[in-house]
Chain A
Amino acid sequence: MKRRDFLALAPTQDISRPAVKPMPRYKRAKAGVVLSGLTPYTGAFSAVQAAHLLRRTTFGMSRATVAQFAAMSLDTAVATLLADQPAPAPPVDPATGTTWIGQPRNSAQEGNYYRYLQAWWMGLLVGQGTSIVEKMTLFWHNFLAANYATVGDSRYMYNQIALYRQYAMGNVKALIKAATKDPAMLVFLNGNSNTNTRPNENYGRELLELFTIGKGPEVAAGNYTWYTEQDVQAAARVLTGWQDVNASATTVFTSNRHDTTNKQFSSAFQNTVVTGRSGATAGDLELDDLLTMIFNQAETSRYFCRKLYLWLVSPTIDSTVESEVITPLAAILRQNNYNLKPVIEVLLKSEHFFDAINVGGMIKNPVDFVVGLAQRLPMGIPTSTAQNTYLALNALRSQAAVFEMQLLEPPGVAGWEPYYQAPNYYKLWINSVTLPLRNDHTDRIINNSSAGGFTFNVDVLSYITTLTATPGSAASIVDACIADLFVFDLTANQQAHLVNDIFLGGQSAQVWANEWNLYVQSPTTTRENAIKTRFRTLLRVMLRMAEFQLM
């Protein structure tokens, strides 16, 4: 694997380098009412706002990135995040240095290829740079979910993820059209067995229920406000005839498998009739008609905006948010012919996005958690060979999987539960199984013991001395760690507890200062180890704190 930017961003081992001053932090908000809407945010844009923006649009960020963004205007910062990115090179087989994408299926190697694909994607997340693309690619993976467990072909999954990355902040209608014909999706939701003689409703149903307009209250039997059972059946018939072609991992339309009759939709779609077509172009023409009909409904634009809001801001969509944020965003989406980028731009630059009620109000998903930690700590991800890099990245991937979010394996067609299951939403990431496992993960990382089958090598000395210019002061160390690891300041009591009981272990601050000075004046391995032990003790406790689960 090519050496990626993120490795250059990792702090060096040079402890004599002057440390940056601690980041300023948000003061906690007191109010519990949302009054802000999409009015452009005109307040200060410095490190605290930059950090919030980056937490929500990337997977954690290094201090260097925060500093870089804090020096920008909000306009520049958002423009940087939204800049189009070139497609990354496909994954390679580290044994040969070449890719298997675009080749016929190799069943003997498929198990390995799947692991390489996962590692490759984790590498893109860790090396995300200063772009929202990776966050939005995962958004679509969660939104238009398919999983390897069902699809069973790493080429198909790669193609689907490449499609989602291509349209990460692009045209939603074009994406839905492409996803409908995507080979992985055809396999995952049985589109490939949907024919004129034996219609299979699976994809047609999910297209309406989950992928475009969404399900409203069931106002009568089989009538879900925005569509009906009749529409599901009609949509399924429109979609007949598509199949995947395994040899080339592509899609084919077979006209004699297509239902050529007219498709009558319900009054939810103004009694639209999609005219039955025949011949080689029938599938595309009818699909275009179907999507035009669906995307002409204002509810479709609102549905996408709610999903986006839930991904970037909050799961709490009350009537104020609906009227002040979702409705105007949906109008922007329609005005822009379903191009997503202008919508994201308005949202990220809005008063609402920076409203104190939303800051910190998100539980890190497992990928945020694992990748975010890797962004912060110098974890020593190896670059010697692609094989070694993949091993380390796969370890991170497997740890996220243990916390219930495995890349390429969303549990079902609706994606991961915390993004759709009311009323708990994000809270579903945290329970008595996953929280102790997250705690165990951070312990292992800090202790340099095996995590997910790989032993990382975190340089705690470098981490702390990069954070603070005065490591001889226990209070300064704790303060710097709070600033780097948490969204908000801690209370004076919590801070004192971390300094006195955890870091100093009951000793006086002077004892630590003496120990540090002695080490700086004449460093020995013994002294260095003693110092690292103090740092590790502090970090283990802080990374176990509830505050570290939030972003």
Chain B
Amino acid sequence: MKRRDFFKRATPFIALPLAMGGAPVRALSRALAPAGFYEQLAHSDKVLVIIQLSGGNDGINTVIARDQYSAYMNLRSNIALPEASVLPLNDATGLHPAMTGLKELYDDGKLAVVQGVGYPSPNFSHFRATDIWNSASNSNETIQSGWLGRYLQSEYDDYPAGYPNASMPDPLAIQIGSVVSLALQGTEQGMALAIQNPNTFYNLVSGTDITNFDTPPSTHFGELLSFTRQVQLESAAYAGQIKAASDRVKNRFTYPASNSLGDQLKTVARLIAGGLKTKIYVVSIGGFDTHADQVVASDHKIGSHAVLLQRLADAINAFQNDLRMYGIEDRVVGMTFSEFGRRAASNGSLGTDHGTSAPMFVFGKHVAAGVVGANPNLSDLSSGNLKLQIDFRQVYSSIMTGWFGIGQADTDFVMNRSFAYLPLFSTAQSLSMEVMKRHTLARGQSYTYQISTLAEDNTAAAALVNVVDEVATPVSQQVIIAGEDGIASYTTVVPMDKPAGKYKIYFGLPDGFYTFVEVEVR
């Protein structure tokens, strides 16, 4: 495996207050955790969550051009949202009234709206357009691997031989659902595991006999037999890890009811908080192919599209809150996409037909909140469709460099071409978790850590700080009190009067949550 050195790549930062990642275990007192456990925590790193909106989301009714309301009204009077109902993001732009959950994230500085995303010569077929987005291809080329699959290959170029292993004991990527997206297909093989529910998954794979394999013949039968056996092996190999991660924690925030996307994101939050080192999660929500009745004639604020957008906004909002409660907001960024937007003009069925570009949402604590790009010009259309403003691969490529911090050569491999960086992330995030989890301090230098102590009912708690040396001998113990925002701060002083060497600082919460940082004192 090509072990990436995030440490070298990250921007150097000193003495900036940082929020800590949380990775709970059963009891705070288990300072001598099982072998491998610290490794697992220490290497935990950034996670990307992809939300696919299947069917082609009507971007024009999702992110509303408030500054072009009359043009908007002219194009789609039978489905137009009332001007006053639009949730304003700024003077020019607003959100569909059902998306209060995303409006809240925007106001909290955790949401970026990227305008007019598409690609040249757009395709209007659901399947082909979905393939283009997943494979990150040009409109006229067919690529049978996915952009996330190629990214994972750039990080783990010898996968799947020798996996799982000590440094990567978990699936590289997880699709919540039962069909793995083309986005996660590598050039040689699939790079992801699909699961619906961590517990049933574990129960179902036990009982499969995987001994005494022979070599399958070189026929279609042989190829499919090998493939099926590989799925058996991978399922068995990862089932225990996934169940353990899921069992380690419980969700700390209540998710909206009857919201399948929320259910999927709930599982994702648990797995991340539970310590899986999986880098990418893909979830999906369908139903966006709104050719007819996307609004109710008598009230355009409601209808099938409003229901979908509310589910999306509520689910993301709950997920972000859950991450905050776990104290792992720093590690996670999310992105939505749909295979295309809709035609600028509505049709006669209170719906919209297949169109071109549409907005994307990028969310997370380290996102540079705001609206990226201008509203699409509703008076300057191309055959009734919005003109392209930002290539979707520019967004992908900016996530690769700005979030995962991969270099130009790898970005070129993943994207197959170069794109300029879009400033999607705040500068503070460029200090990766790897740096935060393991760093070096010169004697006399101080460093402040912050940990979220919020419980599910939003009450704050005190945190216990334990410092131990390299052989787990206790050095000091201290209780730190959280402020009203639930954040407790701790400034390193203890290791300073101790010999040079490695120390671990554990932060524990009353409910058994715990995390640590490793500090090397020079």
How many B residues, CB 8 Å from partner? Answer: 59
Taking CB as reference atom, which chain A residue is nearest B206? A436
Cα–Cα, bound, A189→B289 (Å): 11
List the A side residues contacting B209 at CB < 8 Å: 502, 541, 544-545
Hey, what's the 0/1 contact readout for B226-248 against A, CB within 8 Å counting as 1?
Answer: 01110110110010000000000
Mark out the residues of chain A between 163 and 195 whose CB falls within 8 Å of any chain B CB in the assembled complex.
Answer: 189-190, 193, 195
Bound: A435/B178 CA distance, A: 10
Roughly how many angstroms separate A200 CA and B290 CA in the complex, as a whole number?
Answer: 12
Q: Are B225 and A547 in contact (CB under 8 A)?
A: yes
Known: A362-B224, A436-B204. A201 touches B353 (CB 8 A): yes
Dominant secondary structure of chain B at its interface with chain A: loop
- Pick the residue among A31, A363, A413 that contacts B228 (CB under 8 A): A363
A202–B207 alpha-carbon span in the complex (Å) = 47
In the complex, chain A residues whose CB is within 8 Å of the CB of B193: 431-432
B221 contacts across to A, CB distance below 8 A: 28, 359-361, 487-488, 550
User: Which among B142, B194, B214, B291 is the interface contact of A432 at CB below 8 angstroms?
Assistant: B194
At the interface, yes or no: A205 with Cβ under 8 Å from chain B? Answer: yes
**Looking across the interface, which residue of chain A has its beta carbon closest to that of B197?**
A433
By beta carbon, the residue of chain A nearest B353 is: A201
Say how far B169's CB is from chain A's closest CB, in angstroms.
Answer: 16
> Chain B: which residue is nearest A403 at the CB level?
B178
Q: Which residues of B contact A205 (CB under 8 A)?
A: 124-125, 354
* B185 nearest in chain A by CB position: A424
A contact residues, total (Cβ < 8 Å): 75
Q: Is the CB of A404 within 8 A of B178?
A: yes
Task: Annotate A203-239 by CB proximity to B: 1 below 8 A, 0 otherwise.
Answer: 0010001000001011101100000010000000000
**Distance of A488 Cα from B223 Cα, bound (Å):** 14
Shortest CB distance A283–B (Å): 18
Pairwise interchain contact A217-B224, C-beta atoms closer than 8 A: no
- Among the 9-residue stretches A16-24, A336-344, A476-484, A489-497, the one with 4 or more Cβ atoms under 8 Å from chain B is A489-497
Q: With A358-B220, A435-B232 in contact, do A420 and B225 touch (Cβ < 8 Å)?
A: no
Question: Would you call A217 and B217 a contact (CB within 8 A)?
Answer: no
Residues of chain A from 481 to 520 with CB closer than 8 A to chain B in the complex = 487-488, 490-491, 493-494, 497, 501-502
B177, B204, B214: the one contacting A494 at CB < 8 Å is B214
A219 to B121, CA, bound (A): 11
User: Separation in Å of the B219 CB from the closest CB of chain A?
Assistant: 5
A430 at the B interface (CB under 8 A):
yes
Give the shortest distance, in Å, between A216 (CB) and chain B (any CB).
Answer: 11
- With contacts A431-B179, A432-B194 taken as known, whether A412 is within 8 angstroms of B126 at the C-beta atoms is yes
Is A57 among interface residues, defined by CB-CB distance under 8 A? no
Can you list, as one digit per residue, whether each of A25-60 has a CB less than 8 Å from chain B (1) or not (0)?
A: 000111110000000000000000000000000000
Which chain B residues lie closer than 8 Å to A361 at the CB level?
219-221, 223-224
Contact residues of B with A, CB < 8 Å?
121, 123-128, 139-140, 142, 144, 177-180, 182, 185, 190, 193-196, 201, 204-205, 207-209, 211-214, 217-225, 227-229, 231-232, 234-235, 238, 286, 291-292, 347-349, 351, 353-354, 383
Interface residues of A (CB under 8 A from B): 28-32, 189-190, 193, 195, 197-198, 200-202, 205, 209, 215, 217-219, 221-222, 229, 314, 316, 356-363, 404, 411-414, 417, 420-424, 426-428, 430-437, 439-440, 443, 487-488, 490-491, 493-494, 497, 501-502, 540-541, 544-547, 549-550
